[in-house]
Amino acid sequence: MKYKTLFLGAAGAAILFGAATAAARSYNPMKWIKKPTASQELAANSVEEKALTLQLQALLPARTTLKDACTLFKTLDDCVASLHASGNLQIKFNCLKWDMTAVRPNGDIKSCQAPPKALSLEKAILALKPDVNARGEARNAEKNAHEDIKNAQERPLLTQETTRRAVSCFCGHCRQLDKPARLGAMRCAAAGCNTFQYR
């Protein structure tokens, strides 16, 4: 009888501990914060959207806005990283988008295959271009995306007057920071500079 009581007491304690742990997990405020989707983030900040559009113009598919490109992506980081991966590896963006979202996108998808489920960027790259270092390419694209988004948030678009006065300094700074040089040139062009002068 004594052992039975001890056993029941231990079982009850274990149940209570489990319930307390579950409750603590469910009441964690960080779990309540839902990250906005790519479309929601762009819609909430038009300045960021314009800055990003200018930065990524060369990577966007023809006749496609950044809003259209980022539709269906869970996060803006995923969308921008997929644009970089698509440009770096010459992968059709719509195929990459389909693999990452598991939703058939609008546009040209003749050469794309429907994925069994939504894939990470690394797995999508591996599925579409198995001969490359998918992990390295995914990390590189994600790093570039993070930098692009950070730059768009920190550097609001310059007005035309400010651009004229700051052109040589801004473009020189831009060219030094961004590698490869092509990306630096793109960002400088986004600021309205076509000469890439150094001061």
| Domain presence at residue 7 | no
Q: What is the pLDDT of residue 129?
A: 94
| Domain presence at residue 9 | no
Residue-wise pLDDT tens digits, 149-165: 999 888 655 533 444 44
Question: Is-contact 150 180, C-beta < 8 A?
Answer: no
Q: What is the pLDDT of residue 197?
A: 40
Q: What is the pLDDT of residue 108?
A: 80
Q: Are residues 194 and 113 in the same domain?
A: no
Radius of gyration of the chain (CA): 24
Q: Are residues 75 and 90 in the same domain?
A: yes
Q: What is the pLDDT of residue 111?
A: 87
Q: Are residues 93 and 186 in the same domain?
A: no
SS3 at position 107: coil
Q: Are residues 137 and 172 in the same domain?
A: no
| Domain presence at residue 17 | no
| Domain presence at residue 150 | yes
Q: Are residues 59 and 152 in the same domain?
A: yes
CB atoms within 10 A of CB 116: 9
Q: What is the pLDDT of residue 29?
A: 59
Q: What is the pLDDT of residue 154?
A: 82
Question: Is-contact 6 37, C-beta < 8 A?
Answer: no
pTM: 0.63
Q: Are residues 73 and 98 in the same domain?
A: yes
Q: Are residues 114 and 62 in the same domain?
A: yes
Question: Is-contact 97 82, C-beta < 8 A?
Answer: yes
Domain count, the chain: 2
Alpha carbon 97 to chain centroid distance? Answer: 12
Q: What is the pLDDT of residue 110?
A: 85
Positions in the chain short of pLDDT 70: 1-34, 155-199
Q: What is the pLDDT of residue 9?
A: 52
Q: Are residues 53 and 97 in the same domain?
A: yes
Q: What is the pLDDT of residue 98?
A: 94
Range of the domain at 130: 38-157
